[in-house]
Structure 1
Amino acid sequence: MDKPALKIMDGSFSVCRLKADDEVPEWSHRDGFYSISRTDEELSIVCEQKNVPESVKSEGDFSIIKVLGPLDFSLTGILARISTVLASKKISIFAISTFDTDYILVRVVSLGRAVDALRLDGYKIV
């Protein structure tokens, strides 16, 4: 199977943690990319860093690497292969999957190394 092309998305993003029973705040989906997940333990939001109030528990300064899709559900190992390449360079990730594709968040300070490692492994960055 050919390796999918990747794209670096514009912006700086934060991963936020709110209480499980909190309402989804308006600031979380003002513009651009966002992802919202609710579990019994938490409400987790990934959104543009500029929108996150200082009072919110969050980790910021993430870049997003998008796997260009749509990806067929029968495909296997795409996220595993990318995460293995990055793990070999000691680059931690935060992954989000949607119906169509995968998104890999890496720290802004690690983005250059991540891109270099992925290119060296044969991934095309568009």
Structure 2
Amino acid sequence: MVQLTLAVLDNEFTVHSFDENHRPDAEIFEQEFYFIGKTQDELSVVVPSSLSLASDAQEAGWCCLEVLGPLGFSMVGIMARLSTTLAEVNISILAISTFDTDYLLVKKKRLADATKALKANGYQVLAKKSQYQEA
């Protein structure tokens, strides 16, 4: 198994839910980090909490851990191992995957516990991505 390194992104994030027909606000696309997911039932948006959106529902207080990549598509079980590690210590996650890597969002109040659990399972966790210091 490859040892993975995760980095905590600098911002706190909010997850928003919109009606499936909602057009994403232009301000979203100006953010350094955002994620948009659309299904036939809803539009979900993850943005820094500093951006206020008039969503149907929202959940603030998330921190984001980036799995430093890029990760190849042939790498199997990365998200399964990460989510299992956190589930074993009763930490909920919101998972985001992109072409190059994966991200785990955990509630800010559980970030220290998540970092501790990940380190205990052989992961390296850097305090802030912008600084790349070990947490």
TM range (shorter): over 0.9
- Write the letter of the residue equivalent to 1:101: T
Secondary structure at the aligned position of 2:62 is classed as: strand
C-alpha distance in 2, partners of 1:96/1:31?
17
Q: How many residues align?
A: 125
Deviations 1:96-117 (A, max 9, x none): 0000000000000000000000
C-alpha distance in 1, partners of 2:100/2:26?
25
Deviations 1:32-68 (A, max 9, x none): 2100111110111001111023x42210100000000
Report the equivalent of 2:106: 106
Q: How far did residue 95 of structure 1 move?
A: 0.2
1:32-43 equivalence runs, <5 A: 32-43=32-43
2:86 pairs with 1:86: yes
Q: How far did residue 19 of structure 1 move?
A: 0.7
C-alpha distance in 1, partners of 2:61/2:102?
19
- Structure 1 gaps of 5+ residues are none
C-alpha distance in 1, partners of 2:52/2:96?
19
C-alpha distance in 1, partners of 2:31/2:74?
32
1:5-44 equivalence runs, <5 A: 5-44=5-44
Structure 1's consecutive aligned runs of 4 or more residues displaced over 2 angstroms after TM superposition are 27-30
C-alpha distance in 2, partners of 1:13/1:52?
11
2:120 pairs with 1:120: yes
- Structure 2 gaps of 5+ residues are 127-135
Report the equivalent of 1:65: 65
Secondary structure at the aligned position of 1:118 is classed as: helix
Q: Percent identity?
A: 39
Q: How far did residue 93 of structure 1 move?
A: 0.2
TM-score, normalization by structure 1 = 0.95
